[in-house]
Chains A and B, each alone.
Chain A
Amino acid sequence: MLKRAQALFLGLLSPVIALAMAGNVSAESATRQLNMPQGVTEVSQAAYDIHMIMMWICTVIGIAVFGFMFYVMYAHRKSRGAVAANFHENHVVELIWTIVPALILIVMAIPATTALLKVYDTENADIDIKVTGYQWKWQYEYIGEGVKYMSELRTSQDEIYGRAPKGEHYLREVTEPLVIPTGKKVRFLITGNDVIHSWWVPDFGVKRDAVPGLFTAAWAKTDVPGTYVGECTELCGIGHAFMPVVVEVKEEAEYNEWLAGKKAEVAEYASTIGKEWTFDELMVRGEEVYERSCAACHQSDGNGIPGVFPALKDSPIALGAKEGHIAVLIDGVAGTSMQSFADQLSEVDIAAVVHYERNAWGNDVGDVTQPIDVLNYKQGQ
């Protein structure tokens, strides 16, 4: 009987033991990870430490309480001839089990408070980055550097819908990750553009809701270069699961090089905006942009979702005047989930996607939309 009880006891404990032993799995080989990651910042370490303290306290209390309960269930069963006692009160015992948990909680409150103070220590940052949540992508703006770009899921709709094999980084890859340097205190100023999103990087211990009309701050400082993957953690519509966060931490020299490259890109783009694109070039680029930014709602076949997202195939806007079509992308449609893409897509991308929508799925307007048309519309506003 004792052996049986021992086996049962160990069996019940096994998830706890497994949890405790799995603490040190690195972020990259996370396939069998069971526990919270320790991460690479002070904040993530603080969260992990308090998490482990709480878990051990709960484990000890659990073993004591459930152990006693299982003993009672074994020893005081009627089939073993147990006769019921008749007591129903004991003020001393009741007082003890009210006061002792309260004391444990008071002790717990101390490390819990210290850890929280660390989370909120956002003063004196070296670098400020504005993070804006869009349906369904992130925008990163390096404040004071003139660098701003969108970070979108790179996994294809074909992989998601099983029409192509899933890659190694399925749903963990983006067009352009956020890049930060090692050894610098980076402050994230987080806000939302449309609905509430939440920006989470587990290895930084940073999770902040991206609320429209509100800026919240979080921070990270790490010495460990690498790629860190996170997620959007506030339900934000149909693309909620499809807007991962990817952060690359580079050595400072590499980071500076990268930042200089981004600035050069901005300058170069401005000089090429007048270029004439051919019909077919625009179709190719347009399809890429469409799949990334439009297909989640309007669907790959342009048919939309009836009653929620209108079809673009045979739509009067796509078949009508070019200016009207561009206007929808630049201005959005008030009171609907069609947002303005003026800040999210470049003039070239908007031209390409408008062109694509006018000439795909049997839409055959046949005209060509150039980046300069988009720029003219923007400037004419």
Chain B
Amino acid sequence: MAHGPATLADGWGKYISRWVFTTNHKDIGTLYLWFSFAMFIMGGAFAMIIRAELFQPGMQLIKPEFFNQMTTMHGLVMVFGAIMPAFVGLANWLIPMMIGAPDMALPRMNNLSFWILPFAFAILTSTLFMEGGGPNFGWTFYAPLSTTYAPDTVNYFIFGVHIMGASSIMGSINIIATVMNMRAPGMTYMKMPLFVWTWVITAFLLVAVMPVLAGAVTMMLMDINFGTSFFDAAGGGDPVLFQHIFWFFGHPEVYIIILPAFGVVSQIIPTFSRKPLFGYSSMVYATAAIAFLSFVVWAHHMFTVGMPIAGELYFMYATMLIAVPTGVKVFNWITTMYRGSLTFETPMLFSIAFVILFTFGGFTGMMLSIAAADMQYHDTYFVVAHFHYVMVAGAVFSGTAAVYYWLPKWCGRMYDETMGKVQFWIAFIGFNITFMPQHFLGLAGMPRRYADYGLQFADWNMVSSIGAFMYGGAQILFLFNVIRTIGWGKPTDDPQVWEGAEGLEWTVPTPAPYHTFATPPKVK
């Protein structure tokens, strides 16, 4: 450790080069986290536009053409720009510190995998300013709407997705290599913190399915520019083929988003329960089981496409099975709290909300798995409500919990607890006002991705929009609290930070020095 990182005192040139050329896992983690927050704000702004237009029936603010671009970009930016990079950022910061490694196994690739991301999203969002507008075919980009009938800018979208995929694959390979090779002596697999476990499994999922996505968009590229007909019925192709390929990627993708969230919550709940995680090994096995099942249930997204009944039945039964390992996890979290000594700091509040709301999303997921009922739910606001319960209250809540939980370790300053709790309650209430009514809207018959709707849906849409603005406001408070903490928070140098925190990352000094575990710790 000859010298520390360049700071602003060394001049702008050196400071900027530090971030551009960095191979330090903490720096790269920080970059990922700030990038994902920027994308979160952008995707959130798109959502606000959607909810503002849906505030009342009729088209008031934007045209349907732009509305479709907003729903598409909101989905793409949130999934690929906000949630996934946020968890890669957490992985970068935490995995080396949790397993007692000095850095990631492949630091230069780490730098590359981050720095291609801003370019991917610059390419993607630049289409909004081009003639023809941005992608307008939904984040699932079903062909032929996304091929024959797409604006010319779809080619930018395709290249953007390719770059995002490359970034994810490199990030995953790095995590797998790090965990397999750089664990401290004595850190056996079954001693690894659950966050590390969930990330390793996620990384395998990513390596398996990202190439499938790349294949799908490449076939689109061929159909659009080189006259092939993979997805064009007129040329002997099949639009349904696209859906099979997409969801073979898409279903594991949703577990890619949620598994690291499981990991985060499995770290936080024991800390504030002051009690070890209940059922550690069953947690590991349940995660692996969920990951395996994610590969064999994809067509439950396609129950209305006209599959033969044997296919419907198989995908229905397989999907119902997911409830078993997921239930195990929920029971384990609650039993961890049972006979603990509970306190409710902000990270714990977000984690508890995660367990409740994610479970609620799991219930609606079980309902959706029943094919006969799904004939009514499919592509309605019921589905929108379902996946926002697992994506927002699941992934985003756990990401927020993670930032509050580890921020003092990262920067050596405490956040403002009151502000954190206020943010939590605004977010929690706003979230439920936004998405609970969407269940009613969907059951009453409102399809998703509708720019306009009949008068019978007016009331709940207005309620939902009000909730969305509230939830959006909570994120501004979050940003403010984080910046305030980094700049002016109350300094702390307690390595453990939280009374009940366990794990190697809590044994290094606070704030975590630029290089940790230059000599590996001994794990008993």
Contact = CB atoms under 8 A, between A and B. Distances in A.
- The answer to whether A and B assemble together is yes
Interface of A: 15, 19, 30-37, 43-44, 46-48, 50-51, 54-55, 58, 61-62, 65-66, 68-69, 72-73, 76-79, 82-90, 93-94, 97-98, 101-102, 105, 108-109, 112-113, 115-120, 135, 159-162, 166, 168-172, 190, 194-196, 198, 200, 202, 205-209, 211-217, 229-242, 244, 296, 305-308, 335, 337
Contacts of A230: 445
5 A-B pairs with the lowest CB-CB distances in the bound complex, closest first: A213-B233, A307-B131, A216-B306, A115-B372, A307-B132
A200 B380 CA distance: 11
Given A105-B323, A196-B142, A198-B304, A120 B360 contact: no
A190 B304 CA distance: 11
B329 to A, nearest CB: 10
B373 A88 contact: no
B151 interface: yes
27 contacts: A31-B455, A33-B445, A50-B372, A54-B370, A62-B360, A65-B331, A69-B334, A69-B356, A78-B342, A78-B343, A85-B339, A87-B339, A89-B281, A102-B321, A116-B371, A116-B372, A159-B58, A161-B58, A171-B453, A196-B142, A198-B379, A216-B306, A236-B145, A240-B450, A241-B451, A307-B132, A307-B133
Interface string B356-397: 100110011011001111011011100000000000000000
Contact of B239 (A36, A112, A211, A232): A211
A44 B142 CA distance: 27
Contacts of B379: 198, 207, 233-234
Contacts of A98: 282, 324, 327-328
B316 A112 contact: yes
Interface in B130-162: 130-133, 136-138, 142, 144-145, 148-149, 151-152
B277 A88 contact: yes
Contacts of A160: 58-59, 452
Contacts of A119: 371-372, 375
A161 B53 CA distance: 12
Interface string B86-97: 000000000000
Interface string B255-281: 000000000000000000111111111
B384 to A, nearest CB: 12
A202 B445 CA distance: 7
Nearest to B382: A36
A223 B69 CA distance: 43
Given A88-B279, A116-B309, A72 B338 contact: yes
B459 interface: yes
Name, among A54, A55, A89, A213, the residue most crowded by chain B CB atoms within 10 Å (CB to CB). Answer: A213
Given A54-B370, A69-B337, A160-B58, A308 B133 contact: yes
Contacts of A337: 148-149
B313 A116 contact: yes
B375 A170 contact: no
B416 interface: no
A79 B272 CA distance: 12
B92 to A, nearest CB: 29
Contacts of B453: 171, 241
A155 to B, nearest CB: 9
Contacts of A234: 142, 379
A207 B355 CA distance: 33
B440 A109 contact: no
Contacts of A43: 372, 375
Interface residues of B, number: 99
Contacts of B341: 76-78, 82-84
Nearest to B445: A202
Interface in B60-96: 60, 63-65, 68
Given A112-B371, A116-B313, A233-B379, A84 B273 contact: yes
B214 interface: no
Contact of A116 (B316, B324, B342, B448): B316
A72 B355 CA distance: 14
Interface string B180-218: 000000000000000000000000000000000000000
Given A112-B316, A233-B378, A166 B58 contact: yes
A108 B313 CA distance: 13
Contact of B380 (A169, A213, A233, A296): A233
A233 B447 contact: yes
Interface of B: 57-60, 63-65, 68, 130-133, 136-138, 142, 144-145, 148-149, 151-152, 233-234, 238-240, 273-282, 304-306, 309, 312-313, 316-317, 320-321, 323-324, 327-328, 330-331, 334-335, 337-344, 352, 355-356, 359-360, 363-364, 366-367, 370-373, 375-376, 378-380, 436, 440, 443-456, 459, 500
A35 B376 CA distance: 11
Contacts of B371: 112, 116, 119
A77 B372 contact: no
Contacts of B309: 116-117, 120
Contacts of B344: 77
Given A50-B372, A160-B58, A162-B59, A62 B359 contact: yes
B367 A58 contact: yes
A368 to B, nearest CB: 33
A30 B454 CA distance: 11
Contacts of A162: 58-60
Given A194-B149, A198-B379, A101 B324 contact: yes
Contacts of A200: 447
B300 to A, nearest CB: 12
Contacts of B238: 213-214
A138 to B, nearest CB: 15
Contact of A115 (B65, B335, B355, B373): B373
Contacts of B239: 196, 211-214
B373 A47 contact: yes
A235 B144 CA distance: 11
Given A68-B338, A97-B327, A238-B64, 6 more contacts: A36-B376, A98-B282, A198-B378, A216-B305, A234-B379, A238-B65
A231 B313 contact: no
A112 B375 CA distance: 12
A296 B59 CA distance: 13
A170 B240 CA distance: 33
Given A54-B370, A171-B453, A198-B304, A231 B447 contact: yes
A30 B64 CA distance: 25
Contacts of A118: 372
Contacts of A115: 370, 372-373
A41 B276 CA distance: 54
A82 B500 CA distance: 14
B392 to A, nearest CB: 18
Contacts of A79: 343
Contact of B132 (A82, A240, A308): A308
Contacts of B130: 307
A112 B68 CA distance: 35
Contacts of B233: 211-214
Contact of A30 (B137, B324, B370, B445): B445
A313 to B, nearest CB: 18
A306 B131 contact: yes
A109 B138 CA distance: 32
Contacts of B367: 51, 54-55, 58
A49 B457 CA distance: 24
A77 B58 contact: no
B339 A73 contact: no
